[in-house]
Amino acid sequence: MSEKDDKSMNYISAHDHDDEFDPENPLGKPEVPENVQDAIRTLLAWAGDDPSREGLLDTPKRVGRAWLEYCEGYKEDPAIHLTRQFSEVGGYDEIVLLKDIPFHSHCEHHMAPIIGKAAIAYLPRNKVVGISKLARVLHGYAQRLQIQERLTAEVAQCIWDNLDPTGVAVVIEAQHGCMTGRGVKTAGVGMITSRMLGCFLDDERSRKEVLSLMGY
């Protein structure tokens, strides 16, 4: 047997007993149900295009998979990212702030993109988390159909409930495709929302300090 034949047989045998391997989908991309593809074809036709033309033949599958990715936040409870906590902080009891965190979401009213950045701060009582976890909480809620006001409130409440801090402050600044690409079609307009809890809500000096650190 030649070396070439041997390699060929090894390749075949590697997949002979793999029930999940699909030669028509070798990358293992998620299957998109036919009813989902039909819905997207209907939308394409209603918008005025021909879903059977070459450039749109695979669009229903691509759009279906894209929306699975856009909405990955439904698969998890973002609070899971705050379970690993640290109490050895050397007596640190000042503001912890992560700012300019980029995110994208989609408006629940028009399913249009929301693209922006967030600043998340908390005043620890006796425990902290890794800073990347704050971004993960944001993305967990952002990767759902959202409105910016609720997104801001959910992120703040999640940190408040799970870290038992003295205060939480969340400020989100974003542009909305439902305003820039349709309707009034006004580009460059940003929306700012904030949620303050604990000392950042009750104490004006603390609120001014955290907003100043955030750049507002």
Helix boundaries (H) for 52-99 = 59-70
Active site residue 158: no
Active site residue 104: no
Q: Which of 37, 71, 107, 175 is catalytic?
A: 107
End-to-end CA distance of the chain: 73
Q: Which of 108, 139, 149, 154 is catalytic?
A: 108
Active site residue 108: yes
Residue 9 DSSP one-character state? H
Which residue has tokens 């279906």? 64
Distances (CA, A) of 67 to 63, 145, 206: 6, 10, 40
At residue 77's C-alpha, the angle toward residues 76 and 80, to 5°, is: 105
Count the neighbouring beta carbons within 10 Å of the beta carbon of residue 182: 11
Q: Which of 15, 31, 104, 109 is catalytic?
A: 109
Strands (DSSP E) along the chain, which ranges? 96-107, 113-123, 145-146, 167-176, 191-198
Q: For residue 201, how far is the Cα from the chain centroid?
A: 27
Q: Which of 81, 106, 139, 176 is catalytic?
A: 176
Q: Which of 148, 154, 158, 209 is catalytic?
A: 148
Instruction: Read off the tokens for 75.
Output: 């698969």
Count the neighbouring beta carbons within 10 Å of the beta carbon of residue 61: 17
Q: Which of 72, 85, 110, 157 is catalytic?
A: 110
So which residues are the catalytic ones? 107-110, 148, 176, 178
